Structure 1
Amino acid sequence: MIPPSPSVGSTLQCIKRDHNGQEVWRYEGTVRDTSDAMVMIEAVFNRDDRDMGYVVFRRGDWLYEWFFRDRWYNIFELHDVDDQRIKGWYCNFTRPADWDEEQLWQDDLALDLFIYPDGRTLLLDLDEFAELPISVRDREEVEAARADLLAQVGARTAPFDRIKG
Structure 2
Amino acid sequence: MRSFGTGQTVVRRDVHRSGRVWSELALRVVADTGEALVTACVPGAQARWPALYAQARGEGDRSVRTEAFDAMASGRWELTGAVWQETDLLLWKPPTAWFSVNAFFVPDADGRRLRNWYVNFEHPTRRTEAGFDTLDLTVDLVVTPDLTRWEWKDEDEYAHVRRLGIVSDTEHRAVEAARGEVLAMLAELSRVFAQAQRWSSWRWEPAWPTPCLPQGLTTAERVAPEGG
Matched residue, 1:126:
155
Structure 1 residue 65 corresponds to structure 2 residue 94? no
Q: Partners of 2:19 and 2:92 in 1: how far apart?
A: 20
* Match for residue 78 of structure 1 among 87, 90, 104: 104
Question: How many percent of aligned residue pairs carry the same amino acid?
Answer: 24
Corresponding letter in the other structure for 2:90: Y
User: What stretches of structure 1 of length at least 5 have no aligned partner?
Assistant: 52-57
* Match for residue 111 of structure 1 among 139, 142, 158: 139
1:17 shift after superposition:
3.6
Matched residue, 2:73:
none
Q: Partners of 1:60 and 1:107 in 2: how far apart?
A: 23
What is the CA deviation profile of residues 8-42 of structure 1, one whole-angstrom value per residue up to 9, with x for unaligned ones? Answer: 22111121345655433322111111134621112
Structure ranking higher in helix proportion: 2
TM-score, structure 1 as length reference: 0.79
1:152 shift after superposition:
1.0
Matched residue, 1:26:
24
User: What stretches of structure 2 of length at least 5 have no aligned partner?
Assistant: 46-56, 61-83, 201-228
Corresponding letter in the other structure for 1:70: T
Q: Partners of 1:86 and 1:140 in 2: how far apart?
A: 31
Task: Tell me how large the CA RMSD over aligned residues is.
Answer: 2.9
1:49 shift after superposition:
8.5
Greater gyration radius: 2
1:100 shift after superposition:
3.0
Q: Partners of 1:21 and 1:121 in 2: how far apart?
A: 34
The aligned length equals: 157
Structure 1 residue 160 corresponds to structure 2 residue 206? no
TM-score, structure 2 as length reference: 0.59
Structure ranking higher in strand proportion: 1
